[in-house]
Amino acid sequence: MEARRATTARYRLVHTPLRSEGAGAELATAWRQEGALAAARQAWRGAVSNVAEIVRLRQLWMVITFSLSVFFVSKQWGDMDTMLIPFVERYFGASTHDCRP
């Protein structure tokens, strides 16, 4: 246990807001005591609250923002890579060194 604690001490742990532990037992109890509709309602409320808590996470929005900003730059680079080699050949001639594999 000490070795694991020492190993994980260097990592930054992020708390997750999900409360899935023990949810199956709670749903089974609700099913037996109040019926299927009550269990479905409880499951829906739990899912909605989990999604709401995930949407409030700052880390999620940081990842989404970074992914969207990098997507457009990488798309531009891919298009440039596609167009640059034919342009160089037309402009400078077929004897131009190209970097195609």
* Residues 6 or more apart in contact with residue 29 via CB below 8 angstroms: none
Most trustworthy range by pLDDT among 8-12, 49-53, 57-61, 97-101: 57-61
pLDDT at 62 (0 to 100): 94
In a domain, residue 62? The reply is no
Query: What is the C-alpha to C-alpha distance for residues 54 and 61, in angstroms, rounded to an integer?
Result: 10
In a domain, residue 78? The reply is yes
pLDDT, one tens digit per residue, over 25-77 is 777 777 788 888 887 887 788 788 888 888 888 999 999 999 998 998 888 88
Residues 49 and 20 grouped into a single domain: yes
| Domain membership of residue 101 as a residue range | 68-101
In a domain, residue 30? The reply is yes
Task: Please tell me whether the overall predicted TM-score, pTM, comes out greater than 0.75 for this model.
Answer: no
Q: What is the mean pLDDT of residues 70-92?
A: 78
The token pair at 37 is 């509709």
In contact, 46 and 19? CB cutoff 8 Å: yes
In a domain, residue 77? The reply is yes
How many domains, the chain? 2
